[in-house]
Amino acid sequence: MRRTTLPVAGLLAVGALVLTGCQGSSAEAAPADPNAPITIATLPIGEDPTAENPIEVFAELFEEATGRKVEVTDVPDYLSVVEAIRADHVDIGIMSGFPSALAVNTGEVDPLVAFEGDDKPVSTCVVLNDSPVLSLEDLEGKTVAFADQASSSGYFMPVYMLHEAGLERGDDYEAVFAGGHEGSFAALAQGQVDAACTAIMLTELGKPMFPFEDGEWRGVGESPSMAVQGTVLGRQSLDAETRAVIADGIAKVFSPENAERLGAMGSFAGLGQVVEPDADLYASFAEIAAVAGVELKDLK
């Protein structure tokens, strides 16, 4: 595995996605090169030197499953992954549900494999154990940390959860974007915010992904589940043979027996997979995206 860092210029923002709309792709798939590496853009995950890095585990397992070398390019945020794919800098990226929906609806990246939802709640809002906040309604007038504006579990789902509890961002509570789940946890630990909304899965993983010990924190509220947990997105110029290799490799890597080794990426292991899903699969995200201030119809 080779790993590099790509400082993508002109990083995508949600507003930029809305403005670009569906322009389609003029790239044509070149013949497959069976010796060419498969390139993937990702956010750095799990920098704890005492634990296996999930991205490196994925790359190792993916190389074994596909027989192809894997090159990993680190980018700074979720939407930079989409930009790297759109610009043909990399072959694939693995994204959670909402960034996937936004990306697919631009018409400029292809969904290669979708991970189906499992009917479990996605997000909660974490407070310190001595906090007076006992319910979502108690967050009225408080400051709430979110991970990233493109994060499914760290923004879209908890914002919708708060909306369902009668609280609207900006009117009923102040929202702070911490640049990631780790930043949200740090802001909570330092007393800068009253709550940090995040993935339930991270609270279950514990350290190093979730820094609080039992008895130091409580979860307040649970969001709905998602129809699509995540998607392997690909550049539109990928040839048919490589697409098939990727889909087969993803099925092998994200099997239940690999869940523990994959760490934070293990949430996809064992989920149902849909190869080359239709864009309609993402239609259920529209209402929740609208609550967060993003209309998917604007992307068409």
CATH of the domain at 58: 3.40.190.180
Domain that holds residue 87: 2-117+227-299
Residues 86 and 231 placed together within one structural domain of the fold: yes
CA–CA distance, 251 with 173 (Å, rounded to integer): 42
Instruction: Read off the pLDDT of residues 242-300 as tens digits, 9 standing for 90 and up.
Output: 999 999 999 999 999 999 999 889 989 999 999 999 988 988 888 888 888 866 444 33
* Cα(242)–Cα(246) distance, integer angstroms: 6
Residues 229, 118 contacting (CB under 8 angstroms): yes
Question: Which residues fall within 8 angstroms of residue 271, CB to CB, at 6 or more apart?
Answer: 115, 116, 117, 118, 229, 254
Query: pLDDT digits over 75-125, tens only?
Result: 987 778 889 999 999 999 998 888 888 889 888 999 999 999 988 899 999
Residue 36, number of CB atoms within 10 A of its CB: 14
- Do 112 and 128 fall within a single domain? no
Q: What is the total count of domains within the chain?
A: 2
- Same domain assignment for residues 255 and 108: yes
> If phi over 0 gives left and psi between -120 and 50 gives alpha, with beta otherwise, what is residue 170?
left
Residues 13 and 107 in one domain: yes
Q: Same domain, yes or no, for 36 and 181? A: no
The whole-angstrom separation of Cα 197 and Cα 184 is: 8
φ/ψ region of 185 (left if φ > 0, alpha if ψ in -120 to 50, else beta) reads alpha
Signed CA dihedral, 182, 199, 150, 273: sign only = positive
Q: Are residues 9 and 50 in the same domain?
A: yes
**pTM assigned to the model:** 0.75
User: Given 220, 240, 265, which residue is the final one in a domain?
Assistant: 220
pLDDT digit string, tens, across residues 162-206? 999 999 999 999 999 999 999 999 999 999 999 999 999 999 989
Tell me, what's the pLDDT at 31? 60
Supply the DSSP symbol for 8: -
Write the pLDDT tens digit of every residue in 21-75: 444 444 455 566 777 999 999 987 755 555 678 999 999 999 999 999 999 999 9
